[in-house]
């Protein structure tokens, strides 16, 4: 039930924000969080900021900008952060796990069905229509995030510079994030009005009802920074990484497929910035080009499934790992499904473990900086840079979908037409990503059968 829009209503909301209520909300979110990072963040904002009033707009944006700065999936990290802020460590763990659990089981099932029946003409036709729609959905993500973040020419300049850096200069993600952070820090000192949270001028004011955790609510006791608490967390995190990695090395050797998958996705979790859309080119380069765990077509099909299921888009790594483990037959030819499922579980563990550590360890520091422009300005600039990175990813997929044989080959007119339909549905008709994918899948089936 929505809290009444008064300060007294906020107190009532505070009484309702129990761990049980939060658990039910995070479980519900795990099943309905379609639409990629942009849609998931918007859904959390609508529920927690606008309806339930558990957290204020500025505190929400402060947490979001921190998560956008981190490597890894920003939507899942944001859920973990908000769960931790509301209900301590277990609240964060519950929120983060429930956000990905439904997607994990669903993608394992879909990956198996894809490998077992993907050669059927009607299945191939559905994927033929989904791929152009995915390209349009990624463009829409850049549009939506850009509309929320790029509020002035300075932030637009950072976004364009990030696009040029990754598209033309081929600079690595960490360097782009570092450059954006430096630009934001300098901008916060020289032009502070343009580097507030969300890129709003410093004197912009919003009238909104009080929240359980409001703009000026002091951090709760568990959210205050402590060196001993950080040391304990890092020790536990190191053990949670070392023990399974040591077991894999003993059983399969360092060069074993499962060991290398676990190590590769650990690096992906630590070295790729800008959220799920930014990490995908890195995963593509490693999984397709370097290791050959799957083909380019399978990678795009995996992204289509990731866009079509709830949970963070980075859960496409489940599909990548399942296809790799299934095809490599790491346990022999007979238990191929078991090999794929084990690979998917391992990759999920090593991909998301750093995200929990970043939030539970860095959250207290972030809570001590809300309202401080020296901290928020670099995060605002980094968020702007992410827009340019997402546009690059959209062009990356457009190239592979519209010119499947490269520019030297013939362009796919059917894929272009389906992509235009997807653009009209997303931008003109304001349909959801899931509805767009469904319609385009049927169009693809019709084109292939015809």
pLDDT at residue 10, rounded to an integer:
39
Note whether 402 and 419 are within 8 A (CB).
yes
Residue the block writes with tokens 């349009």: 136
pLDDT at residue 35, rounded to an integer:
57
Partner residues linked to 71 by β-bridges:
273
**Rounded CA separation 443/89 (Å):** 46
| Average pLDDT across the chain, whole number | 82
DSSP state of 119: T
Which of residues 390 and 261 earns the better pLDDT score? Answer: 261
- Tell me the backbone φ, ψ of residue 224, rounded to 5 degrees: -95, 140
pLDDT at residue 252, rounded to an integer:
92
197 has pLDDT over 70: no
**Rounded CA separation 440/134 (Å):** 10
- Tell me the backbone φ, ψ of residue 273, rounded to 5 degrees: -110, 155
For the ranges 215-219, 370-374, 445-449, the lowest mean pLDDT is seen at 370-374
CA dihedral 97, 99, 105, 106 (to 10 degrees): -170
Partner residues linked to 273 by β-bridges:
71
In which band, very low, low, confident or very high, does the pLDDT at 314 lie, cut at 50, 70 and 90? confident
* Two structure tokens written together for 8: 């007294």
- DSSP helix/strand/coil, 273: strand
pLDDT at residue 30, rounded to an integer:
86
pLDDT at residue 354, rounded to an integer:
94
**Rounded CA separation 302/276 (Å):** 14
Which span out of 3-17, 187-201, 389-403, 435-449 was modeled with the highest average pLDDT? 435-449
Note whether 305 and 134 are within 8 A (CB).
no
279 has pLDDT over 80: no
**Rounded CA separation 403/19 (Å):** 50
pLDDT at residue 201, rounded to an integer:
41
pLDDT at residue 351, rounded to an integer:
94
Task: Tabulate helix, strand, coil % of the chain (nearest 5).
Answer: 80, 0, 20
291 has pLDDT over 50: yes
* Two structure tokens written together for 74: 């920003």
In which band, very low, low, confident or very high, does the pLDDT at 373 lie, cut at 50, 70 and 90? low
Give the model confidence (pLDDT) of 334-343 as tens digits: 788 999 999 9
Note whether 362 and 369 are within 8 A (CB).
no
Give the model confidence (pLDDT) of 390-403 as tens digits: 788 788 778 878 88
Note whether 401 and 203 are within 8 A (CB).
no
Which of residues 273 and 41 earns the better pLDDT score? Answer: 41
Residues 6+ apart with CB under 8 A from 252: 258, 259, 330
Alpha carbon distances (Å) from 282 to 238, 273, 424: 24, 10, 30
**How far from the centroid of its chain's Cα atoms is residue 285's Cα?**
18
**Rounded CA separation 390/395 (Å):** 9
39 has pLDDT over 70: no
Note whether 68 and 382 are within 8 A (CB).
yes
- Letter string b/e over residues 1-24, b meaning 16 or more CB atoms within 10 A of that residue's CB: eebeeeeeebeebbeebeeeebbe
Instruction: Quote the percentage of the chain above a pLDDT of 90.
Output: 30
Give the model confidence (pLDDT) of 138-181 as tens digits: 788 778 778 877 888 989 999 999 999 988 887 876 688 789 88
Alpha carbon distances (Å) from 333 to 154, 262, 329: 56, 21, 5
4 has pLDDT over 50: no
Which of residues 190 and 92 earns the better pLDDT score? Answer: 92
| Rg of the Cα atoms in the chain | 22
- Side-chain-facing half-sphere of 424: CA atoms under 13 Å: 8
Which of residues 232 and 58 earns the better pLDDT score? Answer: 232
**Rounded CA separation 55/91 (Å):** 15
In which band, very low, low, confident or very high, does the pLDDT at 26 lie, cut at 50, 70 and 90? very high
**Rounded CA separation 283/285 (Å):** 5
In which band, very low, low, confident or very high, does the pLDDT at 193 lie, cut at 50, 70 and 90? confident
Which span out of 37-41, 115-119, 174-178, 324-328 was modeled with the highest average pLDDT? 324-328
* Two structure tokens written together for 43: 């859904």
CA dihedral 38, 44, 46, 47 (to 10 degrees): 160
pLDDT at residue 156, rounded to an integer:
93
Domain parsing of the chain, residue ranges: 101-197+229-449
pLDDT at residue 200, rounded to an integer:
44
Residue the block writes with tokens 């993600």: 173
Give the model confidence (pLDDT) of 49-102 as tens digits: 878 889 887 888 788 878 877 777 888 999 999 999 999 999 999 999 999 999
What's the burial of 206, exposed, middle or buried (CB within 10 Å: 0-12/13-18/19+)? exposed
24 has pLDDT over 60: yes
Partner residues linked to 330 by β-bridges:
332
pTM for the model: 0.73
Helices 275-284 & 257-271 angle (0-180, nearest 10): 140
Partner residues linked to 332 by β-bridges:
330
């Amino acid at each position: 039930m929505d809290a009444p829009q008064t300060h007294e209503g906020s107190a009532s909301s505070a009484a309702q924000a129990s761990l049980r209520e939060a658990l039910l909300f995070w479980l519900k979110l795990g099943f309905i969080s379609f639409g990629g990072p942009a849609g998931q963040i918007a859904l959390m904002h609508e529920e927690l900021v606008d309806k339930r009033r558990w957290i204020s707009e500025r505190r929400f944006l402060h947490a979001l900008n921190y998560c956008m700065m981190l490597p890894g999936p920003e939507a899942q990290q944001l859920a973990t952060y908000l769960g931790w802020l509301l209900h301590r460590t277990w609240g964060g763990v519950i929120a983060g796990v429930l956000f990905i659990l439904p997607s994990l089981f669903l993608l394992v099932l879909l990956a198996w069905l894809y490998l077992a029946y993907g050669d059927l003409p009607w299945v191939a036709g559905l994927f033929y229509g989904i791929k152009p729609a995915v390209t349009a959905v990624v463009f829409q993500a850049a549009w939506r995030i850009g509309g929320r973040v790029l509020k002035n020419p300075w932030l637009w300049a950072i976004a364009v510079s990030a696009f040029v850096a990754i598209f033309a200069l081929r600079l690595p993600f960490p360097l782009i994030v570092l450059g954006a952070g430096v630009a934001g820090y300098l901008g916060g000192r020289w032009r502070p009005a343009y580097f507030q949270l969300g890129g709003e001028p410093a004197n912009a004011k919003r009238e909104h009802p009080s929240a359980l955790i409001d703009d000026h609510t002091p951090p709760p006791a568990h959210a205050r920074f402590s060196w001993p608490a950080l040391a304990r967390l890092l020790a536990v995190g190191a053990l949670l990484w070392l023990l399974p990695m040591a077991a894999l090395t003993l059983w399969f050797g360092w060069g074993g497929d499962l060991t290398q998958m676990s190590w590769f996705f650990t690096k992906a979790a630590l070295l790729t910035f800008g959220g799920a859309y930014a990490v995908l080119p890195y995963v593509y380069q490693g999984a397709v080009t370097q290791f050959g765990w799957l083909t380019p077509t399978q990678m795009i099909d995996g992204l289509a499934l990731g866009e079509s299921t709830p949970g963070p888009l980075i859960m496409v790594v489940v599909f990548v790992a399942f296809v790799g483990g299934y095809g490599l037959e790491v346990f022999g030819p007979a238990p191929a499904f078991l090999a794929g499922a084990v690979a998917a579980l391992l990759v999920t563990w090593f991909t998301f473990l750093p995200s929990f550590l970043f939030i539970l360890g860095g959250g207290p520091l972030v809570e001590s900086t809300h309202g401080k422009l020296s901290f928020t300005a670099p995060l605002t600039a980094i968020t702007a840079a992410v827009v340019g990175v997402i546009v690059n990813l959209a062009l990356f997929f457009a190239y592979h979908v519209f010119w499947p044989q490269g520019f030297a080959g013939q362009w796919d007119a059917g894929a272009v037409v389906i992509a235009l339909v997807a653009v009209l549905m997303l931008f003109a008709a304001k349909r959801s990503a899931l509805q767009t994918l469904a319609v385009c899948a049927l169009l693809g089936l019709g084109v292939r059968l015809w």
